[in-house]
Amino acid sequence: MATPSSSRSGADRCPGLLTPFVSADGAMVRLRVPGGRVAASTLAEICSLAGTFGDPDVTVTSRGSLQLRGLPDPLPRELITAIGDLGLVPSGEHDKARNIVADPDPALDDLVAALDAALLADPGLAQLPGRFLLAVAGPGGPVLGEPWDVAIVDEGSTARVLVDGRSVVVDRADAAQAALDVARRFLATRPDARTWNVRDLSPEARVDLLPGGTVVVVEAGAPPVAGPVGEDLVALLPLGLLTPRMAQALVASRGSSQSSSHLDERGETTMRLTPWRSVVLPGGAIQAAELETAGFVTRPDSPWTILTACAGAPACARTSTPTRDLAREAAPLLDPAGPPVHVIGCERACGHPARPHTTSLTPSSVADIVAAQRSPLRKA
């Protein structure tokens, strides 16, 4: 959460940013946003930093986090300090481990914050692999359909901790520590550093992660569709990109509702980035038309609801396929009611959705993407 609590400079608080991922198109920094919870002012500042130092389009990832691309290498100290001052990297040592996805339900905000705080408080948990995923959901919540390792399901005064098809029920106040106890057992059990997820362990080892656990059937609801939900708005970002124009529209939408129920304790509007590359805007329904004009998708019948793509060339050095450009050309030709399509530039299939989908691998033309939608679906 964006709540800096130290008097040290941002550069001192986030040493992990000194070693960004570097590609042919420049450096890339990933900002993990636990549960996707981010203040509107913080999101606007991130977009401003992106435009000042690199690619002005900010990428929203399939974990509800943010990527700044096309940055100089080495990173300017001014950028490192500014990011640190936003509080998004409160611990450089832990940053890789802060992978928390959550349903965009404000009732879960305190559980997300408690889980992140408890994770940061344990030095040993900094050793969690960057692919290890924690989830926070309501019963049947949509994030339970994501490839999580440990999940917390809010059940009111209690919470259910889920691991590999088994669960235990604990007091809600103890849920964060119970989930992180599983993470600690995972670290103690995994045979090597390339064992990234619970599913990589042997069946016997997985059972031992949750003492007293009983078998449970995990059901996940559908992700929120683009459009108004009461006073709120689910706004989809085509290709997961937040452009400067879209960021400006978000800033303008902050004043769209004067209801105190949409503000946090600092008088800020908390927006919720989702793993489905959308943002939930409290009180944003009345701004749907303006946000649509700015580039967001606010209707469920848009082809962008079924079309995704990896970064592709030139942003990624692993491919020469301009996946995003081809996806933009193909979008008007796809059937919004048809199977989802993910356009990829190599076999790594980065950024693929968790839902069943078909892929268009290294397409040479728009026709290849259109043809891919007629191919059999594959499970993620």
The H or E element containing residue 229 is strand 227-229
The CA-atom distances, in angstroms, between 148 and each of 112, 132, 164, 183, 195 are 15, 7, 9, 12, 15
Looking only at the bridges linking them, the beta strands covering 232-236 and 227-229 are: antiparallel
259/167 Cα distance (integer angstroms): 38
- b or e along 256-292 (b: 16 or more beta carbons within 10 Å of the residue's beta carbon)? bbeeeebbeeeebbbbbbbbbbbbbbbbbbebbeebb
Task: Please report the pLDDT score of residue 345 as a whole number.
Answer: 96
Task: Please report the pLDDT score of residue 8 as a whole number.
Answer: 47
The H or E element containing residue 22 is strand 21-23
46/85 Cα distance (integer angstroms): 11
Contact indicator for 4, 75 with CB cutoff of 8 Å:
no
Contact indicator for 108, 142 with CB cutoff of 8 Å:
no
Contact indicator for 38, 84 with CB cutoff of 8 Å:
no
Task: Please report the pLDDT score of residue 123 as a whole number.
Answer: 95
Looking only at the bridges linking them, the beta strands covering 134-137 and 150-154 are: parallel
369/307 Cα distance (integer angstroms): 10
Mean pLDDT per segment of 10 residues, for the chain of length 380 residues? Answer: 40 51 73 92 90 94 91 91 86 84 96 97 95 97 97 98 98 98 97 95 94 95 95 96 90 60 65 95 93 96 95 88 96 95 94 90 96 80
